[in-house]
Structures are given as structure tokens and as C-alpha cells.
Structure 1
């Protein structure tokens, strides 16, 4: 039991000299009047007759320590009491966070996979479009090559005088100028699109690599420009092909019209056409089943071109060209006229071309010389048989350069203009005959003009 030190104890105080003497018992009330002892602050702990005095600081330290220990014990007891629930919540929290992270990672991975797949798909589509464009360009280049191999089978020349300048110089240098309205020179002319180039192809293909992932809009613009460029080239090729086809078909119609206008049997003339040195195995022309419009049109053009070549060989036997070079001026036409010597009406069986002595006279169609020499009123005269009853005569020549039996070609010089025979001055007397009967040469010349007009 602890008491404040300022109070009196209930037991009497004994002096050491009082041992052995009996002290009288005093009443309890009398004890209250004893003199007080000096007071001391602190706390006394009494146990089993022993006293332990504590100061106030030590006392409160002890009390605080005991209190903290009690609180710690309570907290520990509570922790262990609720330990399982806390751990469960913590584990659940950790699991929830882990699942959330895994879901986020899976979502990001799926997004990356989708992005990669989309990029691969875009790349594949770009490669396919680029490959398609390259195949189309290759096809257009092969078409341009095919167009370049199509010769111009048109027969050139007319009754107009030859053009001066480079053409006249070339003709003079060759030594065999073409005297006829139309000659058989075949000129190979490349179509306009043969020189066409894909301006955008080289830089575009260089700048845009197949493995470069550009923006879709930019790639589409590049492919669009390529497609537009190819469309322009294809359009020019189709236009050139249409022009070639129309020109050849028109040429065939005019060539067939020559035979109709002249009343000639085209089949007989084709049969009489001499065969040139050609041959080889027969390989039929076949058009593939998957051929496009361009290939089918090119096939038709090749068929028409073969017809033009055959008709050209046949027309080489028809004398529709003029026999002299230069301006055409007739001094006397075909038909009834006044005879220059007798002054009486007479039949003039040919055309008289104004010319100077020594001017070259040329063959108007392929044939064979059947007469060469003096022939009465013709003077010096050459007659050429062209087959199938067609023949031509060239009279009043001053000189003759061919002999009987010679095979002559169109434009070949056979003599020179003169005034031999029954003539009043230098000129060329020219006749065309069918089965020995003289016909108007202008009929043939007009047919040649119409044929060369296209």
C-alpha cells in the first residue's frame, strides 16, 4: 500500500532507548496530535512491510510503459485475430492487380498483333497493286512493240510532182525516181505511242519502296498517279491501233474499188500474179482464248495487212501510174480528135503527155517487154504485157533502153521522150489496152489518184 510521505503512519514510532520499558497505551485519538513530519513528493509502494519510494517521473514512465505494452498486446491480439482476413484481402488485391496487368498486356499484345496484321495486309495489297501495275506496264510495252512492227502498206506517190528538198535529193541519189502516181515503197512508221514513256514510273518506283510503310493515303496517291499514267499510254495505244485499223480497212476498200472501177477480174489478176521467193512450214494463226480486245484487234489488223499486201502485189500489174515525172499536162486526150496532119477527124487511142526530148519514160506496172523498136506511126515504141490482157504502149521515143523479153518493174526507165514517127513535136504517146483494145488511160490514172488519196 502506497501513501503520500506527508501523512502519519497508524503505527507508533519507537525510539531505540525505549526498549525494555512498557509504554502506556494511549488512546487513538491522542495519536492525531503528534507533530507532523516534513513532506516529500513521490509515491511509495508497500508490499509485505517493505516500502519502495518512486519519484513522479519514474512513476509516470512506468505507467506509460505499461500502457504501451498493453496497447501493443491488444494490437497484436487484434492482428492475429484478423490476420487471415487481411492476408486474404491482400492476396485478392494482388491477384486483381496481376489480372489487370495481364489483361492490359494481352490487350496491348492483341493491339500490336492487329496493327502488324493490318500493316502486313496493307503491304500485301500494295505489293499486289504494284505487281499489277508492273504487269500492265509490261503488257503496254509489248503492245507498243507490236504496234511498231506494223508497216505502213500504203502506196505512195501521185500525179503531183515530187516534193523538193530532202525527198527529191534522195530520189535523185537513188538513180530510180518513181514516175508513177503511186509506188510500192513500204515505209515502216512507228506509232506515236512507241516513243511514249511512263514519266512517273522510274521516280515513283524509286521513291516508294515495297517495304516502306507510308501513309495509306500517300500510297494510294502514288498508285493512282501510276494508274493514270498507264491509262494515258493505253489510250494513246488504242487510238493508234484504231487509226491503223481504220486506215488499212479504208485502204482495202479503195484497192478493191480500183478493180471495180476498171472492170477487172481481181481473181484472175491474183492468179496471174507472179510468186516471189517465199516459203516455209505452214503454221496456222491462232488467237488465244483469253486474248483481250487489244490482241483481237491486232489479229484483225494482221489479217487486213495480209490482204493489203496481196492486193498490192496484184495492183502491181495494173498500170494506174503515170509514165513521166513532173506536172501532168496533156496535149491530146483519148478519143476522137482532128488529125494534126490531115485535119480530119480521127481516133486517138492514147494520151499525149507534154515533155521535153530526153525526159525519162518509165514503166507504169510490172510486166514483160513484148515489143521494142520502130512501129510505124508510133516511131520508136515499147509495148509491155502486164498479164491478163493488160498492156501498155510508149511511143515517139527518142531512144529505147529495153529489149523484147525483158522483165520490167514499176518505175524502171525504158527509154526517153522524143518525136519519132508520126509526131509534130517532142511528147510521149501513152496507151493502155485490155485484150488488145485501147481504153482511155485517164480511167486508170484517176483510179490511181483515188487510191493514193487516202
Structure 2
């Protein structure tokens, strides 16, 4: 490529043309404009092609190239002699890199904290769940212990025979106790058996991590805790009610001996033991760190053992009725007018109105001392209950026991009659202490208070 000017073309020639004579070519007559244009323009030739440009454009291009070259040289020189600029640039890049690294480290730390928090929450959840499971097991154990408490403690009483059953059965016809007004009955509160309302689902214990992801986990745990609190509250309330009833029962049972003027310790010492035998295993009291439930259950167990012992002692006290049905006396204990002589006389017992042949039952455990004809008593049975207590049943029409027989509460021992000094069918019933006749109503009233309270 070459740059050529028309003026150079018109006034110069190649070196080998110097020998030629200079011949001036006449210019055309009517073409001055093209010559002027040729002298003021530049031609660029490359590969046989020519491009003609004006001087303004040419100098603009030249100026631009010159300015750019000068700028590049100045910049290179500036950077070559000013190291602080490059240093600042490198420091800036390093600062940006450090900032990115710090940001990444912060994000990693935040992620680690989040992960640690999740692990901590999971661990706390597992601990709470384990605590709930242990507490549920403890409440179930308590419920089982409470279920072992007896619902009824009966000393024994007289139960009417079932319909169609024989009323004059043999010696083996021993009725079961029945809840009549002079019966010793202890009934536990109806809500004694405490049941768990809510149980932890099996999947919770098996897969705690999966359950922890369920929304509202805290609410579920709170509900479980609330349910267990309610169960525990009911169990403690039931224990309190049972303990109060046991203690009240003991007070009433001891009050019977006080009202009757009997020596409780002496009678308990003479009472046959309830067990048959076995190794002695002392009862261990609860430890100092035992909870309230265990200590209260221990007290109830001791109280229940005392009630059982008092029940065995009371089974020898004749405070029950000898006949069934409503109590109606034809004659009371004390001074009365003798029905045969019409003079004042001491009546040593109670006369129960009854029909001929009605069954007569033993009012306490004992042993038959006499059974047969006994003067004004007619056919009479006397039962020794131990500790100086005895009962007599007179004017019987039939005797169903013999001397030496062991008698149980409510056992039929004879039938109502009118033998001896009697004006009609009735039962003459006596209670004696150390051979002296005492008012049977004193014993009956004590039994009514004990059974109805």
C-alpha cells in the first residue's frame, strides 16, 4: 500500500527518466477543477486498489494515532515510575478477596451455628420425650399399685338367702357377707383406678427425629405433659381419699371397742392370727429421697394391715343382728312386767319379733358352749366368742349345731320358736360380758354406726 500525492506525480519522475527530454503535456482546455482536486487529496493504494481521502480525514487519523501513542507512552511511564498505584491496585484486589473469604467464613459459621442449634433442639426434644416416657411408666406403675388396693374390707355380716334357696340348710350352709345396715364395709372411691388419658405413640419413641420435624412439636409436648399432670393429680387425689377413708375407718373401728368398754389390746392379743405361716420378711419403709406417692402408699399399706387386724378382732364382737329384715323388738333390755306373773322382773335380753321357723344366725365368730333345753329359755344355744364375750339364743324351735362346733358369722344355728317361758314365736337374744348380761342394743348401735358411716 502506498500514499501518493498528485503534485508529486506531476513534478517528479523515476530516475531512469532523467535522460528523456522534458515534454510538457498541454492540459485540456476545459478541465481545471480536477487538477485542483488532485493537488489537495491523498490516495491510498493496496493490492492494485486505490482509495482517495481528503486531507482533513487524513490528518484526523494521524492525530488520533499520535494522541493514542502518546497516551500509551505516558501511562506506561506513569505505571513504571509509580509503584504505589500498582500496589494499591493489588491491595484492592487482595482486600476484595479477603472480603469474599470473610463472607464465606461468616456464612459457614452461621451454617454451623444453625446446625448446632438444630442438634441441640433435637437433643432437648429427645430428653423431653425420654422424660415423658419415664414419667408415663412411673404413672402406670402407680396405677398398678393402686389397683392392688382392695375395694372392700368386710368383717362379715348376714346376707339374705337367694330366691329359691333353702332357708333351713345344714351346718355347711354358711351365707356370704351382705351389706346391711350393721355390716362392716369399706368401699374405695369409684375413681380409684387411675388410667392414662394419653399415651405416647409408638412412632414417637421409635423415630424421634422424624417426629421432631412435625410442625407444632412444642404444643404436642405440652399437651402430653398436661395430660400426665392431670393423671398424676387424680392419682394423688385418689390416694388422699383412700388414706382418709382408711384412717376414718380405723377411728370408727376403735370407737366400737371404746363404746362397748372392751380392751382392744387384750382382744387383739387373743384374736386368732389370719395367716398360716411363712418366712418373716420385714416391711422396708421408703427411702428419704422417695417421692410423695411412695411414702403415702406405704402409709396406706400399714393402715390397711391395721384394718385387717381390727377386722379379725371385730369378727369376735357380736354387733350384728341375729335375724334378717327390719328390726322390731317386742321387749327390750331391763326391768319389765313379767308376762306370766304380772310383776316387775329383769329382762336380760332383746325379744325379736319373727315368724315360726325363721332362721337364726350367729352374730359373731365363736364356739358352741351349750345347745339344748335350758329351763325358761326352752331350746337355747350359747356361743362363746372369746375375751369373755358370749351370746345366747332362746325359745328356738330347732337347733342345728352341737356343742364344740366352730361357728362363723352369719351361720344358721337354729330356727325361731316359742319353747320355754314364751307367749308366742320370737327370738330371745342376749349378749354377756364375763357372764353378766348387757344390753344387746349397745352392740347393735355400735354396729350400725360402724356400717353406715
TM-score by length of 2: 0.80
Describe the superposition over 1:194-232 as per-residue Cα deviations: whole angstroms up to 9, x where unpaired: 25332474499599955444588x333222222221222
- The answer as to whether partners of 2:373 and 2:379 remain within 8 angstroms in 1 is yes
Q: Distance in 1 between matches of 2:6 and 2:320?
A: 163
> What's 1:76 paired with?
72
Q: 1:316 to 1:3 in 2, by over 3 A?
A: closer
> What's 2:370 paired with?
371
Q: CA deviation at 1:374?
A: 1.0
Q: Distance in 2 between matches of 1:198 and 1:214?
A: 25
Q: CA deviation at 1:319?
A: 0.6
- The answer as to whether partners of 1:156 and 1:452 remain within 8 angstroms in 2 is no
> What's 1:264 paired with?
262
- Please show how residues 59-138 of structure 1 align to structure 2 within 5 Å: 66-83=62-79, 87-138=86-137
> What's 2:47 paired with?
none
Determine which structure has more spread, i.e. the larger CA radius of gyration: 1
Is 2:379 aligned against 1:380? Answer: yes
> What's 1:235 paired with?
233
- The answer as to whether partners of 2:196 and 2:228 remain within 8 angstroms in 1 is no
SS of the equivalent of 1:194 reads coil
Describe the superposition over 1:236-289 as per-residue Cα deviations: whole angstroms up to 9, x where unpaired: 111111110110111100111111110111111011111231332222322112
> What's 2:170 paired with?
none
Q: Distance in 2 between matches of 1:55 and 1:244?
A: 124
> What's 1:248 paired with?
246
Q: Distance in 2 between matches of 1:203 and 1:178?
A: 46
Q: CA deviation at 1:123?
A: 2.1
**Number of aligned residue pairs:** 418
> What's 2:45 paired with?
none
> What's 1:448 paired with?
447
Q: Distance in 2 between matches of 1:347 and 1:193?
A: 51
Q: Distance in 2 between matches of 1:204 and 1:158?
A: 53
Q: Distance in 2 between matches of 1:419 and 1:106?
A: 112
> What's 1:48 paired with?
none
Q: Distance in 1 between matches of 2:90 and 2:165?
A: 107
SS of the equivalent of 1:395 reads strand
Q: Distance in 1 between matches of 2:390 and 2:266?
A: 15
- The answer as to whether partners of 1:183 and 1:410 remain within 8 angstroms in 2 is no
- Please show how residues 143-182 of structure 1 align to structure 2 within 5 Å: 143-155=142-154, 176-178=175-177, 182=182
- The answer as to whether partners of 2:185 and 2:451 remain within 8 angstroms in 1 is no
Describe the superposition over 1:326-379 as per-residue Cα deviations: whole angstroms up to 9, x where unpaired: 111111111111111111111111111111122111111111111011111111
- The answer as to whether partners of 1:316 and 1:365 remain within 8 angstroms in 2 is yes
Q: Distance in 2 between matches of 1:237 and 1:90?
A: 79
Q: 1:260 to 1:210 in 2, by over 3 A?
A: farther
Q: Distance in 1 between matches of 2:410 and 2:321?
A: 9
Q: CA deviation at 1:436?
A: 0.5
- Correspondence for 1:273 among 271, 274, 287: 271
- The answer as to whether partners of 1:123 and 1:211 remain within 8 angstroms in 2 is no
Structure 1 gaps of 5+ residues are: 19-34, 45-53
Single out whichever of 341-350 and 62-71 deviates more from structure 2.
Answer: 62-71
Q: CA deviation at 1:61?
A: 7.6
Q: 1:93 to 1:133 in 2, by over 3 A?
A: same
- The answer as to whether partners of 1:148 and 1:191 remain within 8 angstroms in 2 is no
- The answer as to whether partners of 1:317 and 1:387 remain within 8 angstroms in 2 is yes
> What's 1:308 paired with?
307
SS of the equivalent of 1:410 reads coil
- The answer as to whether partners of 1:6 and 1:37 remain within 8 angstroms in 2 is no
Q: 1:389 to 1:3 in 2, by over 3 A?
A: closer
- Please show how residues 318-337 of structure 1 align to structure 2 within 5 Å: 318-337=317-336
- The answer as to whether partners of 1:383 and 1:392 remain within 8 angstroms in 2 is yes
Q: 1:17 to 1:116 in 2, by over 3 A?
A: closer
SS of the equivalent of 2:53 reads helix
Q: Distance in 2 between matches of 1:110 and 1:257?
A: 77
Q: Distance in 1 between matches of 2:405 and 2:428?
A: 21
Q: 1:60 to 1:237 in 2, by over 3 A?
A: same
Single out whichever of 120-129 and 201-210 deviates more from structure 2.
Answer: 201-210
> What's 1:27 paired with?
none
> What's 2:46 paired with?
none
Single out whichever of 126-135 and 86-95 deviates more from structure 2.
Answer: 86-95
Q: CA deviation at 1:153?
A: 4.9
Q: 1:447 to 1:16 in 2, by over 3 A?
A: closer
SS of the equivalent of 2:108 reads helix
Structure 2 gaps of 5+ residues are: 13-17, 41-49, 168-172
